[in-house]
Amino acid sequence: MKIRIKRILKISLPLLLGVFLVWFSLSQISVEELVSYFKKADYSWVLLGVFLGLLSHLSRAYRWRFQLEPMGYNIKLGNSIMAVFATYLINYTIPRAGEIARASILANYEGVPFEKGFGTIVAERIADMIVMLGIIIVTLFLEFDFIYGFLIERFEPLKIIVALIGLAVVIAFFSLYIRKSSSKIAIKIKDFVNGLIEGALSIFKMKKKWAFIFHTLFIWGMYLLMFYVTTFSLEQTTNIPFAAILIGFIAASFSIAATNGGIGSYPLAIYAAFSLFGIAKEPSIGFGYIMWSSQTLLVIIFGGLSLLYLPIYNRRKSK
């Protein structure tokens, strides 16, 4: 009974949160004004952003093959591409169900055991997490003056110093507790951290490690570039500072984990980030919806076609 309730909550809570955030975001801007931003948008930039997003997805599918080759599996590129797009589409319905479906597709059509396929997906998520952390560190380094000035402007310097010291002490005590504790939560956290380290080190043991690293950087480069070029689609976001691009991109990336595919949370995350730079609420939300809608439409079209064509493609290959 408890397991069933947990499953229901895992599926329903992100969906309910997404619906609430859509309602909340639309309460910040009238539907008529939001539609006007869609009408005024320069879709040549939007389409360029969609194309860059497509390149990142294709690169992800190609990169996956590098992880499977050392295990003796040379999967078809077509199956890899369609499995990746199917993952994105399914994640819009049930959180993280796409990753399970992706490993299942590989098991059904390529004969790769589910646990091995799923293990490579976990490893690539670790690589993505490391790159995302790198982007955050670079942003903090490049925009240190802005971030420092922003904090000083809103908080007293003494309070900031005390807060940083307090945070450092809490992290130190927490780390010490986790290392020595044998509770279930502590063991899970230790396993997670060890998995991150093991996954990161496994990349360098790969036969084509430099190709894997190149594609990982390329994927995230395309993500950032598609966000950047899409800002040119609206007059109000054309000349925004590069710091706003970086912080908006980071906020938007994290919002995708909050709800299914960033439903509702994506435009609000961009609005929250852009507001730090004095960018008006309405164009920020309008841009967020244009950005999210264009990438979602890409996933729906290619993900839907992938699910339909997968059995046909593999039937022909088998013949």
Render pLDDT for 175-191 as a digit per residue (tens, 0 to 9): 777 777 777 777 777 76
The SS3 of residue 187 is helix
Quickly list H helices, 204-280.
209-230, 242-258, 265-275
**Matching residue, tokens 């996933």:** 299
Contact 170, 258 (CB under 8 A): no
Residue 8 has a pLDDT of: 57
How much of the chain exceeds pLDDT 70, in percent?
80
Closest CA to 108 of 96, 99, 117: 117
DSSP state at residue 67: H
> What's the chain's average pLDDT?
82
Name the more confident of 121 and 96. Answer: 121
Q: How far apart are the C-alpha atoms of 297 and 291, rounded to whole Å?
A: 10
The alpha carbon dihedral of 26, 227, 236, 36 has a sign of negative
Closest CA to 99 of 90, 108, 109, 107: 90
Q: How far apart are the C-alpha atoms of 98 and 82, rounded to whole Å?
A: 12
Residue 255 has a pLDDT of: 85
Quickly list H helices, the chain.
2-27, 31-40, 43-68, 77-90, 97-110, 114-142, 144-154, 157-180, 184-203, 209-230, 242-258, 265-275, 281-318
Name the more confident of 204 and 72. Answer: 72
The SS3 of residue 196 is helix
Residue 6 has a pLDDT of: 58
In this predicted structure, which of 49-53, 142-146, 211-215, 242-246 has the lowest mean pLDDT?
142-146
In this predicted structure, which of 101-110, 138-147, 151-160, 183-192 has the lowest mean pLDDT?
151-160
Residue 39 scores a pLDDT above 80? yes
Buried b (16+ CB within 10 A) or exposed e, 263-291: bbbbbbbbbbbbebbebeebbbbbbbbbb
Residue 57 scores a pLDDT above 90? yes
Q: How far apart are the C-alpha atoms of 136 and 149, rounded to whole Å?
A: 18
The alpha carbon dihedral of 231, 233, 234, 239 has a sign of positive
- Torsion, Cα of 210, 216, 220, 225 (10° steps): 50
What is the token pair recorded at 47?
């389409």
In terms of pTM, does the model score above 0.95? no
Contact 38, 290 (CB under 8 A): yes
**Matching residue, tokens 């939007």:** 46
Residue 125 scores a pLDDT above 80? yes
Residue 208 has a pLDDT of: 78
Question: What are 65-101's pLDDT values in tens digits?
Answer: 888 887 778 888 889 999 999 999 888 877 677 788 8
With vertex at residue 123, the alpha carbon angle to CA 121 and CA 126, rounded to the nearest 5 degrees, is: 110
